[in-house]
């Protein structure tokens, strides 16, 4: 039985100018490489002056070599934190560039190359961080991949497994490895996504993993509250990072970000203060929350 509805009455063609937000480009390897992007994402806001909010803190940032992870690394360094970052083998040049940026602010950074899909690597990350610094205070879970598909029927078993193995499983691996060493006042911060709330027709599997991260955050925060460990997440909207140019077509990239009410994509540096807030004592009464930085796409949850 069909619900009665009026059909469209006719069609007309409307032509309008559409701004080009970025030069068309595509990279065949995911995650992509920041040094090949045009323009290079803006990771550091020269107007942001640190005030020692993270002085003496030690952080681990997964996927810290580029994009949001690089901006968080720089922001943490400005606030006085030392860190270890993880990256994939093909991302070494990006990781080395991040190292130079962090060290330019007088902080130490340990580069750890490996695959977070392997549970043993998370243990290695924590072990090497403790060997280097002797402590761990902040865990930022930021790794991720996405493979757009027009239909769920096009999502292969291999793609599904890779997306989940990269985006959500390491949250468990890293947290389990780090938790015995986290003291009261420590912070766990995940990178979720606006797609967990608004959905994304091309990213059914990716959006599902980000929804899982939201639930992971809320559930783990309840479990760890009694230990004085806060668990929160950030849900970015469209941000100009290597993930974009390595997952979408060059044609799609040309207008990336226009869907936001602000009519532009965000830059990585615009997210860093949110992570700093969640990592610092400024958010001492904040846990189980997801903070939205999305140019107005979602205004409530």
Whether the bond between 39 and the residue before it is cis, its omega within 30 degrees of 0, is yes
211 contacts: CB under 8 Å, gap ≥ 6: 196
For the sheet with 82-87, list strands across it. 109-113, 82-87, 58-61, 138-141, 187-191, 230-236, 290-293
48: annotated active-site residue: no
Beta strands in the chain (DSSP E): 58-61, 82-87, 109-113, 138-141, 187-191, 230-236, 290-293
Instruction: Say which DSSP state 6 is in.
Output: P
Burial of residue 198, with CB atoms counted within 10 A of its CB: 0-12 exposed, 13-18 middle, 19 or more buried:
middle
Q: Which of 133, 206, 252, 277 is catalytic?
A: 206
User: Judging by DSSP bridges, how do beta strands 82-87 and 230-236 pair with one another?
Assistant: unpaired
**Catalytically active residues, by annotation:** 206
């Amino acid at each position: 039985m069909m619900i009665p509805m009026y059909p469209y009455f006719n069609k007309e063609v409307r032509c309008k100018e559409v701004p080009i937000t970025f030069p068309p480009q595509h990279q065949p390897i995911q995650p992509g490489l920041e040094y090949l992007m045009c323009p290079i994402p803006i990771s550091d806001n020269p107007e942001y002056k640190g005030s020692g909010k993270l002085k003496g803190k030690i952080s681990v940032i997964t996927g810290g070599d580029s994009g949001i992870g690089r901006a968080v690394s720089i922001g943490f360094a400005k606030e006085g934190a030392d860190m270890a970052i993880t990256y994939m083998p093909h991302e070494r040049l990006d990781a080395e560039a991040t190292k130079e940026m962090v060290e330019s602010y007088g902080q130490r950074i340990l580069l750890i190359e490996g695959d977070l899909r392997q549970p043993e690597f998370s243990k290695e990350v924590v072990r090497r961080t403790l060997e280097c610094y002797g402590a761990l205070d902040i865990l930022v879970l930021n790794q991720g991949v996405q493979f757009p598909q027009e239909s769920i029927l096009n999502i292969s078993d291999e793609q599904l497994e890779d997306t989940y193995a990269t985006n959500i499983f390491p949250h468990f691996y890293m947290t389990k490895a780090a938790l015995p060493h986290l003291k009261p006042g420590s912070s766990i911060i995940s990178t979720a996504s606006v797609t967990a709330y608004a959905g994304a027709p091309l990213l059914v599997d990716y959006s599902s993993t980000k929804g899982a991260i939201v639930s992971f955050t809320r559930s783990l925060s309840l479990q760890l509250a009694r230990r004085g460990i806060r668990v929160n997440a950030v849900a970015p909207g469209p941000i100009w990072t290597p993930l974009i140019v390595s997952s979408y077509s060059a044609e799609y990239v040309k207008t990336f970000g226009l869907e936001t009410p602000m009519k532009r994509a965000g830059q990585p540096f615009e997210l860093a203060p949110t992570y700093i807030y969640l990592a610092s004592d400024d958010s001492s009464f904040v846990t189980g929350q997801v903070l939205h930085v999305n140019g107005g796409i979602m205004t409530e949850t």
